[in-house]
Amino acid sequence: MSVTIPVVSTPNVLGGKPRVEGTRVGVHQVGSLVREHEWSTAAVAEEFDLTADEIAAALEYYEANPDEMEAIAEKAAATRERLDDLSRAPQ
């Protein structure tokens, strides 16, 4: 029996970014860890308490929506840069 795990976006959760339904784990976070940082799917599943089906759904969405994932990454990078500029912490 196949289980369908939906990816959802709701305005008040993760700023409306796509996530695995029933969690606060973002699709970009999962995709970035697996595809860009070379984490195993098992490591991501363990770290975020996700099932293999949830990981697969997140990766499917991540790969099917490259423009959306790039926009999320760019916004995160801009936020990090802005916070670095505002920080009083030693460089």
Query: Can you tell me the distance from the alpha carbon of 14 to that of 19, in angstroms, rounded to the nearest whole number?
Result: 8
At 85 the pLDDT is 87
Instruction: Report d(CA 74, CA 91) in Å as an integer.
Output: 22
Could you report the per-residue pLDDT of 51-61, keeping only the tens digit for each? Answer: 999 999 999 99
**The pLDDT of residue 21:** 95
The answer to whether residue 1 sits within a structural domain is no
Residue with tokens 């099932």: 51
Q: Does position 90 have pLDDT exceeding 90, yes or no?
A: no
The domain that holds 45 is classified in CATH as 1.10.10.10
The pLDDT of 25-43, averaged and rounded, is 97
Mean pLDDT for 31-36 is: 96
Give the domain extent around 75: 7-86
pTM of the model: 0.86
C-alpha 51/C-alpha 33 separation (Å) is 16
